[in-house]
Amino acid sequence: MKRLILIAAFILTAGTLAAQNYIIVNSEKVFKSIDAYNTAISDLDKLAKQYQDQVDAEVEALYNNYVSQKSSLSAAARQTRENTILNKEKEAQEYQESLFGQEGTLMKKRIEVISPIQKQVFDAIEAYAKQA
C-alpha cells in the first residue's frame, strides 16, 4: 500500500513539474533597447559628472592656491592652510556621500527616472507570462 501511495505521489509531482513553464529574460538587453532608458541613463551620467566637478572644484582651488603660495608662507600659516584643505576635503567627501550615496540625491533621481521604465518592462514580462 505504501508503494502505491509513493508511486502515485511521484506521478503527481512529475506531472506538476512538467506542466510548469519558465522563461529567462535578459533584462539588460531589454532595457538597452528602450530609447527612454538610454536617454535617462545618459542624463544621469551627465548629472553625476556635474556633481563630481562641483565637489572637486572647491578643494582643488584651495589646494592649487596653497601650492602656489607655499614657499612664501610661514610654518604656522602652512599648517593652518593644510588643516583647512583637509577639513574641506572631509566636507567634500561628506557632500559627495550625500550626492552619490545610497540615500543620495543622484540615487533618488535615478529611482525617480528609471522606476517607471522598469515598471513598464516588468508589467510587459508579466503579461507575456500570463499568456503562456
Give me the pLDDT at residue 130, please: 84
CB 50: neighbour CB atoms within 10 A?
11
Q: What is the mean pLDDT of residues 34-52?
A: 92
Could you tell me which of 80, 54, 55, 58 has the C-alpha nearest to residue 69?
80
Give me the pLDDT at residue 120, please: 92
C-alpha cell recorded at residue 9: 505521489
Give residue 65's pLDDT band: very low, low, confident or very high (50, 70, 90): confident
pLDDT at 2 over 60: yes
How far apart are alpha carbons 53 and 79 in whole angstroms? Answer: 27
What single DSSP character describes residue 126?
Answer: H
The pLDDT tens digits of the residues spanning 9-20 come to 666 666 555 556
Could you tell me which of 67, 64, 62 has the C-alpha nearest to residue 85?
62
C-alpha cell recorded at residue 69: 603660495
Give me the pLDDT at residue 6, please: 62
